[in-house]
């Protein structure tokens, strides 16, 4: 398994952990308020910091397991995979944001729109990493 494939696995796991933490917090706050909780800057900052810290730790661990491949640059196959996976993530992001915007037209709930759009970003990133893993495993033609 190449360094870039390992990186996709760990980033997928890191994003899952961070997304679970974010939406668990939003769900708890929404339950306490009795409506969709407003977006909170500290929560968003916390989400970003959590991803940065976990991804640094995870990548150090991945690099330590095979130092000789840790500085591998993207080769032609990696670039094709990154491009295709990025396109897939872009579609997911577009669908998610359009879903949020469509919902806003019916209930004018800006808080919900924010969380859906933010969630769409998370899903798009997760989808991108999943697509990378798929192409690395199954081949890119």
Binding residues for other proteins, per CB under 8 A?
A: 1-2, 5, 69, 72, 75-78, 136, 138-141
Backbone angles phi, psi at 138, to 5 degrees: -95, -15
Which lies closer to other proteins via its Cβ, residue 77 or residue 112? Answer: 77
Complex with other proteins: residue 42 or 138, whichever CB lies closer: 138
To the nearest whole angstrom, how small is the minimum distance from the Cβ of residue 69 to other proteins?
7
Q: Burial, 109: exposed, middle or buried (Cβ in 10 Å; 0-12, 13-18, 19+)?
A: middle
Cβ-based nearer residue to other proteins, 33 or 140: 140
Output the smallest distance, CB 95 to other proteins, in A: 24
State the nearest-atom distance from the C-beta of 39 to other proteins, in Å: 40
């Amino acid at each position: 398994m190449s360094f870039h494939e390992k990186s996709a696995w760990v980033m997928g796991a890191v994003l899952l952990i961070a997304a679970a933490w974010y939406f668990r917090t939003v769900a708890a706050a929404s339950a306490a308020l009795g409506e969709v909780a407003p977006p909170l800057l500290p929560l968003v900052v916390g989400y970003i910091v959590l991803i940065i810290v976990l991804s640094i730790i995870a990548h150090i661990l991945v690099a330590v397991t095979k130092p000789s491949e840790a500085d591998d640059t993207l080769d032609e196959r990696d670039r094709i995979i990154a491009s295709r996976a990025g396109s897939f993530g872009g579609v997911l992001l577009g669908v998610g944001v359009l879903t949020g915007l469509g919902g806003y037209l019916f209930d004018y709930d800006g808080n919900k729109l924010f969380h859906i759009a933010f969630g769409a970003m998370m899903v798009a990133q997760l989808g991108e990493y999943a697509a990378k893993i798929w192409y690395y495993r199954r081949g890119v033609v």
